[in-house]
A and B are shown apart, each in its own frame.
Chain A
Amino acid sequence: MRSDSKHATAKPVIKVRDLVAGYGEEVILKDLNFDVLEGEIFVILGGSGCGKSTLLKHLIGLCPPMAGSITINDLALTDEQNLQRVLRQCGILFQSGALFGSMTLAENVALPLQEYTDLPQTHIDTLVRMKLALVNLAGYEHHLPAEISGGMKKRAGLARAMALNPQILFFDEPSAGLDPISSAELDQLILHLNKTLGTTMIIVTHELDSIYTVADRIIMLDKRAKGIIAAGDPAHLRENSQNSYVRQFFNREPSPHKTGLE
């Protein structure tokens, strides 16, 4: 567990107010209200299919909210120009990596650097090597995404997401598909970026270990409630939550009277 004191004075970077999220007519999440503070590691938890990826897509403006508002750095995401400015400050790791299949890993990582900075190509190449080395992919610069494993795609996607040292990083299940060692190293990388660059991170994950290591604050979503059922500090929630689902989640207990997934 990590100390909360460092955020005593932090201002909110992302504000979510009365958000209703969904696809078409179907409401997936409703009445969401929360802030993400500057420099904090904010973890979104919940069972499979409860709408974590959906929430993330709304936070980065890929889906327009059905109701309510989202602001990042006090800019509303509904405006196309605002969205462009906000996304320049954000790095996003998609659940599947979303690398461009026709480009090598180095080209994938170099793309945001080429688009957004005035650096000469040699410096971009050096930066790409550094970014790929950070995620333990040194030597794979000239591989195509089709030629590497699933976990490696994830890590390469992470390298691309953090290419520009963004102010806010969004991760959809960064450690899914990684072995325990890589996953622990990823946690260290997250903490390092958070500490040195003050990067705000919004992470969707299921890894309990990694939650205890990195999370400053968590919210837990639930499919039946279609909203937040718990929010706060992970260790505190595990010990003190009134909600049986939350306790079950933290203690890895199966649902009583059920054999399969819901």
Chain B
Amino acid sequence: MPSSLSSVTPPARCRIQVNRDQPGSLFVALAGHLDELSAPQVINDFVALLNKEKVPQLFLDLAGVEYIDDFGVAVLVGFVTSVSARNGRLRMENIPEGVAEMLDRHRFNDLCQPEITTTKRKRTDSITNLGIFTLGAFSSLRHSLIFLGDTCLSLLRVCSHPRLLRGNDTLLFMKKVGVDALPIVALISFLLGLIMAFMSSVQLAQFGANIYVASLVSLSMTRELGPIMTAILVAGRSGSAFAAEIGTMKISEEVDALFTMGIDPHVFLVMPRLIATVLVMPLLTLFSDLFAILGGLLVGVSMLDLTFNGYIAQTISTLDLFDVFWGFGKAVIFALLISWTGCLRGFQVEGGAAGVGRATTSAVVSSIFLIILSDSLLVVMLRYWEG
């Protein structure tokens, strides 16, 4: 027995020797160390041998085997199964005591049988898969509705007992969702205003209607693009974070721990995120509008020969307060959608790290989808409302 695997020189290689005695039978002798180091070579030799000789009966003489470890046992199992796969038979002879003990310990005969596990994952056909998918979709819908109900109930509870809300957490999330997002929201909106002004001026300049660049930028930003851009950024930054945080807590049984302590996970985890997002999103949207107008102003003054005052005056006359508040209203709706989806996906996490990854992706994708969907509905609503 080698004292350890650390020895610098590998143990003597294992040899396969063929003695062809009788017709119809093949006598093979194995000798040496049958272990991790020699296994790949022995397997290759044996496969080559089997491919060359087509003999139904194979006798394997193990008398020369000095040492065997579990890799060696796996090699022998491979011999037996590959011979029987070729409709042959393999018999082992002269098994030394140490080898026999090793084979017994690993239940050699069981290993040679094809695997019998009661719980093997079932392979399914496409119809079954369709069924599983449909059921999954329904149960996910059901889960979402239950979650929606729970969220509304805990919102009511928090409204009637404001002390249930964890104030510090809410402030922290307001910082994370709002303050920390301000630079990127400002930058992107500024660039967006710049681009819009520039592109529209190309067309409007043909009619000498440069001044309407101000109207176009301000109106489209406050009503549509400001809220949507902000929402998409917040969904990417914070919605995903909500899903990942809650999902990780879910798989490490922290959510269960909360529940057993008699703390409602919805009030504890969802409410601070939801309320913080709803509070800061309108503010972020306002900043987004302002920075976009600033971007438009820069293009207007520097490239379109508009005056600073003229641009501002045109902006003010285009916008009325309703447009700004309409944008705020949208921001609130988007905030609800983003935080709700993020938390929902977090609570739906199952399994391990991969589950958290899926939840994060799906939080972002479904919030963006919901944002665009609800925005379309709101546009239609507004159209009929204004007559």
Instruction: Give A residues with C-beta under 8 Å from B.
Output: 13, 38-39, 73, 89, 100-102, 104, 117-120, 122-127, 129-131, 133-134, 139-146, 164-167, 196-200
26 contacts between A and B (CB under 8 A): A38-B4, A101-B251, A101-B352, A101-B353, A101-B355, A102-B352, A117-B39, A117-B40, A119-B74, A122-B78, A126-B74, A126-B78, A129-B115, A130-B70, A139-B119, A141-B117, A144-B352, A145-B352, A164-B36, A165-B5, A166-B5, A167-B5, A198-B1, A198-B3, A198-B4, A198-B5
- Tell yes or no: B71 within 8 A of A by CB: yes
Give the CA-CA distance A143 to B121 in the complex, in Å.
8
Give the CA-CA distance A143 to B36 in the complex, in Å.
27
Q: Which A-B residue pairs are the 4 nearest by beta carbons?
A: A101-B352, A102-B354, A118-B40, A198-B4
Instruction: Give B residues with C-beta under 8 Å from A.
Output: 1-6, 36, 39-40, 43, 69-71, 73-75, 77-78, 81, 106-107, 111, 115, 117-121, 251, 350-355
Chain A residues, Cβ within 8 Å of B352: 100-102, 144-146
Chain A residues, Cβ within 8 Å of B1: 196, 198
- Given the interface pairs A126-B111, A146-B352, the reply to whether A119 lies near B119 with Cβ below 8 Å is no
Contact of B4 among A119, A133, A167 (CB under 8 A): A167
Beta-carbon nearest neighbor of B4 in chain A: A198
Chain B residues, Cβ within 8 Å of A196: 1, 69
Asked if A119 and B40 make an inter-chain contact with CB atoms under 8 angstroms apart, the answer reads: yes
Asked if B353 and A119 make an inter-chain contact with CB atoms under 8 angstroms apart, the answer reads: no
CB distance from A104 to the nearest CB of B (A): 8
Chain B residues, Cβ within 8 Å of A166: 5
Beta-carbon nearest neighbor of B108 in chain A: A130
CB distance from A90 to the nearest CB of B (A): 11
CB distance from B8 to the nearest CB of A (A): 10
Asked if A123 and B119 make an inter-chain contact with CB atoms under 8 angstroms apart, the answer reads: no
CB distance from A72 to the nearest CB of B (A): 10
Tally inter-chain residue pairs, CB-CB below 8 A. 105
Beta-carbon nearest neighbor of B71 in chain A: A127
Asked if A130 and B117 make an inter-chain contact with CB atoms under 8 angstroms apart, the answer reads: no
Chain B residues, Cβ within 8 Å of A165: 5, 36, 69-71
Beta-carbon nearest neighbor of B118 in chain A: A139
Chain B residues, Cβ within 8 Å of A146: 251, 350-352
CB distance from B172 to the nearest CB of A (A): 24
Give the CA-CA distance A100 to B5 in the complex, in Å.
27
Contact of A39 among B3, B74, B351 (CB under 8 A): B3
Beta-carbon nearest neighbor of A118 in chain B: B40
Give the CA-CA distance A192 to B205 in the complex, in Å.
88
Asked if A130 and B40 make an inter-chain contact with CB atoms under 8 angstroms apart, the answer reads: no
Chain A residues, Cβ within 8 Å of B251: 101, 146
Chain A residues, Cβ within 8 Å of B40: 117-119
Give the CA-CA distance A13 to B5 in the complex, in Å.
12
Contact of B106 among A100, A104, A122, A130 (CB under 8 A): A130
Beta-carbon nearest neighbor of B115 in chain A: A129
Beta-carbon nearest neighbor of B6 in chain A: A167
Chain B residues, Cβ within 8 Å of A133: 106-107
Beta-carbon nearest neighbor of A198 in chain B: B4
Instruction: Given contacts A122-B78, A142-B121, list 17 more A-B pairs with CB under 8 A.
Output: A38-B3, A100-B353, A101-B352, A119-B39, A123-B78, A126-B74, A126-B111, A127-B74, A130-B74, A133-B106, A142-B117, A143-B119, A145-B352, A146-B352, A165-B70, A165-B71, A196-B69
Chain B residues, Cβ within 8 Å of A139: 117-119
Contact of B36 among A117, A131, A142 (CB under 8 A): A117
Contact of A101 among B3, B117, B351 (CB under 8 A): B351
Beta-carbon nearest neighbor of B39 in chain A: A119
Beta-carbon nearest neighbor of A164 in chain B: B36
Beta-carbon nearest neighbor of A195 in chain B: B1
Give the CA-CA distance A165 to B1 in the complex, in Å.
14
Chain B residues, Cβ within 8 Å of A200: 4
Asked if A141 and B70 make an inter-chain contact with CB atoms under 8 angstroms apart, the answer reads: no
Give the CA-CA distance A102 to B81 in the complex, in Å.
30
Asked if A122 and B81 make an inter-chain contact with CB atoms under 8 angstroms apart, the answer reads: yes
Asked if B6 and A73 make an inter-chain contact with CB atoms under 8 angstroms apart, the answer reads: yes
Chain A residues, Cβ within 8 Å of B120: 141-142
Give the CA-CA distance A130 to B77 in the complex, in Å.
11
Find the residue from B6, B43, B121, B355 having the highest chain A CB count within 10 A.
Answer: B6
Chain B residues, Cβ within 8 Å of A130: 70, 73-74, 106, 111
Give the CA-CA distance A198 to B7 in the complex, in Å.
12
Chain A residues, Cβ within 8 Å of B5: 89, 165-167, 197-198
Asked if B43 and A123 make an inter-chain contact with CB atoms under 8 angstroms apart, the answer reads: yes
Asked if B115 and A123 make an inter-chain contact with CB atoms under 8 angstroms apart, the answer reads: no
CB distance from B333 to the nearest CB of A (A): 36
CB distance from A235 to the nearest CB of B (A): 26
- Given the interface pairs A130-B106, A133-B107, the reply to whether A39 lies near B4 with Cβ below 8 Å is yes
Give the CA-CA distance A123 to B43 in the complex, in Å.
9
Asked if B6 and A129 make an inter-chain contact with CB atoms under 8 angstroms apart, the answer reads: no
CB distance from A128 to the nearest CB of B (A): 9
CB distance from B335 to the nearest CB of A (A): 32
